[in-house]
Structure 1
Amino acid sequence: MTEQSIPRRFEGRTVLVTGAGTGYGAEIAVRAAQEGARVAVHYRSSAAGAEKTVARIKEVGGRTPTRRWHPLHRALPLPLLILPRTAPDRSRHHHHRGVPVATFRFDTRVAQDPDRVWAVLTDVSMIPQWFPAVREAHFDGTHRHLSTSEGTLKSVVVTKDDALRRFQYRFVEGMPQPIDFHRGTIDVLPDADGSRVVYSQEIVPEALAPVVERAVSEGIAGIARHFAAHS
């Protein structure tokens, strides 16, 4: 993915990333900067790590204040978009055609290295192995087809970035009612000697939010189980 094609979802916003001195928090902070945010780097004790994160943010053209936990909250302007280190997170921070977008974000840590995790999660034929609700999955060259007990879901791939290990897709058919907007995102990030998988969904209309929330919750739980069983 080129710099120009990275989505600018957080343009004009200040993003507070907790625990951004190391690991997953640092990767989220850099990614938020790439997507247009002014990133507030939070840390408790890893000052050196926070400075490295700030340097990386500046390398991608981002801007950031750097402070410890307490001064940070007093110093930053509101509103803040909070990107938590832990999940689930249910929020409505942006709009689609004037309608609030329901967003669900879950994450889990797995012991395998990021490249191995990325290979599994982007192989459509393996989806039933980590998402039990899906009985069969295949790609027809244009759409991904996921067969469940309730029917078939059809989606198109929006992003598959092997360098950033970011995969995004959009459902176009198979939901209980028409979809105004949807985007599913899977990020695989390095986390110490393993990986952090962040799985999120954005959906309009609101009536589909419970369906999507349940799906992403089951998906992240399935990912954790799959890699625990294959460690």
Structure 2
Amino acid sequence: MASVRFERRIGAPADRVWALVGDPARIVEWFPGVLEARVEGDRRTLRLATGIEMPERILADDPRTRHFAYRLESDLVRFHLGTIDVFELGPSDTLCVYATTVEPDTMALVIGGATDEALDAIARLSEGGSG
């Protein structure tokens, strides 16, 4: 198993950042290559630009601790756990941490690159005031 972790310091209130990442359907706004997100209970299905559908199970979506966790349930991986945590450092100072553990290890490179880009988009959207 391999793990990747990226973080961004974002010049926006933590509640604004959380509004963007804590809503499972809004992933289409900030995760590269995701065109559609269908959410039903603790299930989320992503449709990618490639046409592939990626089923996920939402494990945690806690606005109190600003913690989101999900597991990819696809034959592309033997194991996957993704977490996003939003920490308030100050009134308009937020740390957003996106971590993924995955097997096979080679998928960590692919997912890692996408999560790094996702954090850039989260920062851009949050700092721009929409979210």
TM-score tier, shorter chain, comes to: 0.7 to 0.9
The alignment's C-alpha RMSD in Å is 1.7
Matches within 5 A, 1:47-62: none
C-alpha deviation, 1:139, in angstroms = 0.2
Report the number of matched residues.
Answer: 128
Of 111, 122, 131, the match for 1:223? 122
Please tell me whether the aligned partners of residues 57 and 72 of structure 2 are also in contact (alpha carbons under 8 angstroms).
Answer: yes
Relative CO higher for 1 or 2, CA cutoff 8 Å, sep ≥ 6?
2
Deviation digits for residues 189-208 of structure 1 (CA, Å, limit 9, x no counterpart): 01122211011111011132
The percent of aligned pairs where both chains have the same amino acid is: 34
Aligned counterparts of 2:85 and 2:23: Cα–Cα separation in 1:
14
User: C-alpha separation between the residues in 2 aligned to 1:160 and 1:124?
Assistant: 8
Aligned mate of 2:85, from 187, 200, 209: 187
- What's the counterpart of residue 103 of structure 1? 3
Corresponding residue of 1:65: none
The question of 1:156 aligning with 2:57 is answered yes
Q: Segments of 4+ in structure 1 off by > 3 A?
A: none
TM-score between the two structures when normalised by the length of structure 2 = 0.87
Aligned equivalents of 1:182 and 1:202: distance in 2? 6
* Deviations 1:131-151, CA, capped at 9 Å, x for gaps: 242111120224111111121
Q: How far has the Cα of 1:157 moved from its partner? A: 0.8
Aligned equivalents of 1:196, 1:207: Cα separation in 2: 27
Match of 1:137 in 2: 37
Any unmatched runs of 5+ in structure 2?
Answer: none
Unpaired runs of at least 5, structure 1: 1-100
Provide the C-alpha distance between the structure 2 equivalents of 1:142 and 1:197, rounded to a whole number of angstroms: 22
> Match of 2:11, as an amino acid?
A
Q: CA deviation at 1:228?
A: 2.6
**What secondary structure does 1:135 align onto?**
strand
Matched residue, 1:67 = none
Distance 2:85 2:49 in 1: 27
8 Å CA contact 1:138–1:144 kept in 2: the answer is: yes
Deviation at 1:229? 2.3
Residue in structure 1 matched with residue 107 of structure 2 by the alignment: 208
Structure 1: distance between partners of 2:22 and 2:33: 17
Q: Highest Rg: 1 or 2?
A: 1
